[in-house]
Chains A and B, each alone.
Chain A
């Protein structure tokens, strides 16, 4: 899929740096209002990641179903059991400790197993300790991967309180200590970059929109559209100004324009 993205060169460069081997700022935060093109930027960035060098996990926090268990599950889906020996071992030992029995088809899949481990029991071996234990085990595995890993989180502002606290706390703190890991988080709200534990290892960019018409001309061209007007750039500049450079609205207008040599 061709990603239509206007400008945002600075965050694109920051993302390119994120992929370099000696990158010290391993956390990239991208903040912008709704419709400013965060998801388009993430999709563009994803398309630039060489699969030969990186495992990639994408997590859309929008909606209501993404829990910490789900994030572990996504990692497992990308890496498989073989790459996660410590996590697998910890999960099994926690299941045994909690007396969780795997019966028939009820225990289908990793997500269910993690969910059970994170939500069963109410004594000392509590949910949070188990979550931390699994987080530690998972990060030990990630530190020993043959190739690097990129985790991309979108719509952070919609993460539930539990997930947001986990990402902002235990997760990013461990990213700071894991050289093989790169993380990009986008949202209308993003984790507080002044965090004492991982703040020094993050790069933060605001997406203000793209109000300059010349940046939209290549998009127009790539989409095979044309402005039936004597001065397309002026016309586009008018549209950009009317929408304060907000990409989602400008894209709607471009999509409604006639195709080059035909109708819309």
Chain B
């Protein structure tokens, strides 16, 4: 017999047939009553004597004897807290065998398992309560229901899934999708159920920022919109959401355009409004402000008709983004505070966190760093709680920018590198490019112009790959600043001149002001005082309109430098003093140090050597504290020169 077994084993050509043979080999040795018990034990994910008694419709005592016999086998393992289970590979084989040979029996035992699991689920206090553990019996019942009545099971699965999404419990959705996927892998699900399952799996991937995996799932889904209009619309929206998160705007736009049609056909008004919101965001990201405003208004009207304030709040946030980039920070702030109030009222934690982060962005642009940090921290805490990695990366990035503005370079680097790592992990090239560009800014401000150049170029490469022209040219401005710092004036000028027309044609007023002040500084360094003054004035007007205090301080300091060059010391002192006042108000140390250095130079030019020394020393101390080597060297050189003059 054993030789015969080995011969048969060798004759089998594939692994599964050999596994089945081994299974038959052991089943053949079992007593008549134990053999079906092994098969039945494979139906649930775990069993104990109670579950076995319910499945086999025998007494608990009898079931106990069978469980004792089963647990002696190597393919039966303890299942902590629940009893025992058949090892996954053996279980899959047994189920496949039963599905192929005796589907009716499979269905009968599944029905018994479903009833038992349902009864057990009702014993739990409230499976959907926030503090309750994963509703394992509910999930187990739905799993078995699929082998009894797929239509009913599908409804149960979808109802549970929507409930858990609404309650922000993706852990439960993940648990359910994982067990039901066993049926799908084994080919036991119909097309509709399989498609819905893939949709839920994609939703879970999306929730845990496995964007490429979510994308693959949505791509694989081929849904007949006539037969399954709701699922077709939902998938198209989900696919668009993922593509948007992956910064693939053109493809995302196509999906949302299609989704609006599908939602209309499926009478899914809220889905249609969501598509408009996303189209508004794409328009904003692609710098089509008016179009973006239009989409948000359409979405807002639908949400209003549905009496859905969260939706209206979402639109307010979107419009705020557009206003912010247009330099209307007060308008943006007003709308975001209104949106946040709504989200707080309806306890929509995730959306409230997203709005909070946007609010922090505006405070950052207004140079209100303490408020910005408070709101970034608040948003980050929620994103960490909900596992939203893109939200986390956005908050870390924002915090990094604040630290950068406050000249806390080491902290900025740590935060920005952390954001960069997360953006790379989740596959968000826009976030990756922005983080690299911010790190380049950090290197430049620290006086590491060569490293900064290399990073600006890397950021530009990333932006080119996703065809984000505006961001690419923003990197070019950074590169121009770095070249200017290195004394490569003609290269810097050429970069500024290439970037300015593109930046000017966009709605990004702050970048335009940044370019103008950069070019103004270049003119000043080349002692072209009139163009320098004109450019600083133009930049100053934009910064003032946008309420950017940091930008205003930089421009006033630049104008003071120009006045000083022209020997207009009173005007220069007035501008330096104003720049210093603003710098202290917004706690911008590098701005303060730059102004102090300028005042030192002014004093030196007027032979007020003691005052000059004091200002240089104060500036040097600040540069030293923040680690700005270039500034520090500049002060050292000035102080040395002053000493030589005095001796």
Contacts and interface: CB of A to CB of B under 8 A. Distances in A.
Interface of A: 4, 34-35, 39-40, 58-60, 62-65, 67, 69-70, 106, 111-112, 115-116, 119-120, 122, 124, 126-129, 158, 160-162, 165, 227-229, 235, 238-239, 242-244, 248-249, 251-253, 255-257, 264
Contacts of B88: 34, 62
A252 B26 contact: yes
A64 B179 contact: yes
Closest CB pairs A-B (n = 5)? A116-B131, A64-B175, A128-B384, A126-B385, A127-B385
Contacts of B82: 63
A242 B18 contact: yes
Given A126-B381, A162-B387, A64 B25 contact: no
Choose among A69, A111, A248 the residue with the greatest number of B CB atoms under 10 Å from its CB.
Answer: A248
A115 B387 contact: no
Contact of B75 (A63, A122, A248): A248
Contacts of A122: 347, 349, 382
B19 interface: yes
Interface string B55-96: 000000000000000000111011111100101111000000
Contact of B3 (A129, A162, A229): A229
Nearest to A155: B88
Interface in B331-387: 347, 349, 378, 381-382, 384-387
A248 B89 contact: yes
Contacts of B186: none
B175 A248 contact: no
B18 to A, nearest CB: 6
Contact of B22 (A126, A235, A252): A252
A174 to B, nearest CB: 17
A238 B18 contact: no
A249 B174 contact: no
A229 B9 contact: no
Contacts of A63: 45-46, 79, 82, 136
B134 interface: yes
Contacts of A257: 2
B130 A119 contact: yes
Nearest to A188: B88
Given A128-B384, A239-B6, A64 B130 contact: no
Contacts of A67: 133-134, 171
B73 A115 contact: no
A252 B131 contact: no
A62 B384 CA distance: 25
Nearest to A263: B29
Choose among A34, A112, A249 the residue with the greatest number of B CB atoms under 10 Å from its CB.
Answer: A249
Given A112-B131, A160-B175, A248-B87, A58 B80 contact: yes
B90 A248 contact: yes
A228 B1 contact: yes
Contacts of B178: 64, 158, 160
8 contacts: A35-B89, A65-B81, A67-B133, A67-B171, A162-B387, A235-B6, A238-B9, A253-B26
B28 interface: yes
Contacts of B170: 161
B10 interface: yes
B2 A124 contact: no
Contact of A126 (B1, B131, B384): B384
B264 interface: no
A93 B179 CA distance: 37
